[in-house]
Structures are given as C-alpha cells and as structure tokens.
Amino acid sequence: MVEAFKIIGGKKIEGELKVDGSKNSTLPIMIATLVEKGTYVLRNVPDLRDIRTLVALLESLGLEVEKLDANSYKIINNGLSGAEASYDLVKKMRASFLVMGGMLAIEKRGKVALPGGCAIGARPVDLHLKGFEALGAKINIEHGYVEATTENGLIGGNIVLDFPSVGATENIIMAAVKAKGKTVLENAAKEPEIEDLCNFLIKMGAKISGVGTGRLEIDGVDKLTACEYSIIPDRIVAGTYIIASILFDGSIKVSGIVPEHLSSFLLKLEEMGAKFKIEGDRLEVLTKLSDLKPTKVTTMPHPGFPTDLQSPMMTLMCLVNGASEIKETIFENRFMHVPELNRMGAKIEIDSSTAKITGVENFSSAEVMASDLRAGASLILAALKANGESLVNRIYHVDRGYENFEEKFKALGANIERIKTEA
C-alpha cells in the first residue's frame, strides 16, 4: 500500500502559510557536521522524509543525532566509526553523496555508493570527483562505489567547474575547509543554500571569502569548532505558496520568506502582471489570477529562474489566458508532469526542452501520479483548483520536500486528505 492525496478542489482557501526551513540548505549543513568533532545544534530544520533519511546515514557513520523538537536537532560527532556510505542509504537520496567531502576533510579518505534520487535526469558526480582530484585525492570507481584516498590529507588547489553545480560546489567547499593551503573555486554555484553552508562553516571558524559570488577562496584551517546554527527559509516552498496564493486570487498570505532569495521568480511574476505587498518576511498578493498575462520562462542557475519552481510555475501558466512557454536548461527529464497536467485538461505541448502552454479556463479533476518532488506540488495545486475529486498518487515524493503539506492547506479550508491506495 502507498499513500495518495484525495483532493476535492474548487473550495475557498484563505489564511496564512509560514515557510519552513530550507531542505536544500539543511542537507549539506547536517552533512558538514562530519568535518569536525563536537556537539552541534541546528534549528529551523524542516520535518521531511529526506532529513530522516540523512539522519540514518549520519548515524551509520557513527554520529549521534537527537531530535530536540519538531524543527531542531542535536548532532554529536565523536569521530566517525567508518568512512563508507552504503548503497542502501545513498540510493534513497542524491544529496547523500555530499558525505564524501566531509569524510575527506576529517578521515582523509571516503567510500560512497553512486547515488540515486529523483527521476529528473542524469545528475552525474564527475564535477565533484574532478574537484577532489584537484585537491590531491586519488579516485577509484568500482562495484558501484566511489573511493577517494589521500596520502596525507588534501592540499588546496585551483578548480574551475564546467557548470555551476550546486552539489559539486558544496562537496568541494566541505573538502577544502581543512585542506592544506588555499583553494580557489571558479564558476561556483551562487544559490542562497551555498551561502548558508558557507556561513555555517565560517561560524565554525572556516576561512571562506567571495561568499555569494562565482569565485570562492578557501584558506584551509587545521581545526574548526562545532556551533549552533539556524537554517534559512526554503525559497522553493515559498515560491510554491506564492503561486498557490495567486491561483486563489491572493487569499493566502505567505510569511517567513527572504525576498532577495526569490528575486528572479518575483520579477517574472511581476512581468506577468502580479503585484505584491512585502513587509519584512511577509508577502501578500494584490492581484487576481485573471489579471495575469502569458510570459516565457527559461530555467537557469541562480540568480536565474530556479528549475525547482518550473513545475509549480507551469500549473499557474496553464490558467493564464494566451500562450506561455517554459524552456528547461538544467535537467533533461523535468517535464514528466506534463502528461499528468494534460490529463487534468491542460493544453501543453513539448518541443525538445521547451513546453508550450495554451491557457485554459480551469483544470478538471482526475487521477494523476507525481513523478518527482516538485511535479507532485504542481499536481496538488492543480487538483486544489479543479472542480471535483482528484487523486494524486506517489506523494512520498512530496513528503521529501514539503512539511505537512496537507495539514497546512487543510487549515486554510482545502479539502485534502492522505489515503492509502494500491497504486
């Protein structure tokens, strides 16, 4: 038996949604507790399936992890019990591969299974490995595992990434903070989650300059100090909630946002005719869905339009009168939700890496299936808007990135419940 959401759409939804801590910040920061012994306290941690998966992985490496409350963890690193991350745990989540950088920093070696994760295309780890090699690690790949070894630890070096990969940037930063000498990382990813990881490591005593730019300089230090840290809000959850608010004519207020983390996304919505009132960390939508006009979106590395908001954005575009377009440049398989939206009455055609969307009056209820995390969110939003009963299957994807999705929307008046199904 698996879980699905049964949604009776077309209901009035109003109230306030508070944004949780960032999943994509929490994962690398929790993993960064590997790089130095000590006791850490992390706050504003979202309560998600991926976090629980990572806790099991950290415990398998010898760390003690205690949940202090719904959104806080204490992590005690008394030294790793081993430097191998097994396939059983790594296959559940791609971010698990980030333990390699932490292992190299503290153990000077590491063995990690090649990762699994979402079905949104090939996300190779070659950029991670090139970075480790530039720091003096020897890489060996066999039997589905990557093994990295060093003679006497890592040595700072110059690295130019072929693509500003978020995962590779994070992994290299973690490896470099205790390497001997200076590491210069060019074409580094600039996402807010990278800044958050850097700020966490800097609080521990790491020497990193250029934070928030494409050029990071890391002066290795011998020793870091465990610390307490609060995770930034999740900009993808924020974006999803803002889209939900527009779909329901501004009846949902969104709090706990960092507006500058959402700049390209908000600019694109403004280009479509949306207006906002932002006071501190609270956003209110001042426009109706019918006020919006079509536009074109191209997903790009930060600060461009985030690929993780592409599928919720498509749900919105489906109900905007006229012809809109989304070009996906990051992942080659990220239109798997299109046939499902079309089952709900959308008019979307795929031409290579571009989705051409013709606006319709409304979605119609249907049974659909989430193919990945963000696709799941896009289908739930469509089902909330459609008249009648919809079933969204495979919601375990959604549980990986949205905390208590159904409870939060139920509190606003949505008719959504979690049920068991055979599919």
DSSP letters for 253-299: EEES--GGGGHHHHHHHHHTT--EEEETTEEEE-S-GGG----EEEB
Question: Comparing C-alpha atoms, which of 253, 254, 247 is closest to residue 313?
Answer: 247
21-228 has the same fold as 1-18+232-419: yes
CATH 1.25.40.10 fits 1-18+232-419, yes or no: no
Residues 196, 197, 198, 204: is their CA dihedral positive or negative?
positive
* Type of residue found at 21: G
Rounded mean pLDDT, 207-211: 98
Residue range 233-258, pLDDT digits in tens: 999 999 999 999 999 999 999 999 99
Does 52 belong to an annotated binding site?
no
Q: What is the pLDDT of residues 145-184, one digit of tens each?
A: 899 999 889 999 999 999 999 999 999 999 999 999 999 9
Domain spans of the chain, in order of start: 1-18+232-419, 21-228
Q: Could you tell me if 146 and 112 are in contact, meaning their C-beta atoms sit under 8 angstroms apart?
A: yes
CATH level 3 topology of 21-228: UDP-n-acetylglucosamine1-carboxyvinyl-transferase; Chain (3.65.10)
Residue 124 marked as a ligand binder: yes
**Is 19 assigned a ligand-binding role in the annotation?**
no
Active-site residues, by number, are 118
Q: What percent of the chain has pLDDT over 90?
A: 89
**What torsion, rounded to 10 degrees, do the Cα atoms 404, 405, 407, 409 define?**
150
Contacts of 260 by beta carbon, 8 Å cutoff, 6+ apart: none
126 is in an annotated binding site: yes
In the numeric block, which tokens belong to residue 316?
Answer: 């919105």
Is 45 labelled a binding residue? no
Assessment of whether the complete model's pTM goes beyond 0.85: yes
Instruction: Say if residue 69 carries a ligand binding annotation.
Output: no
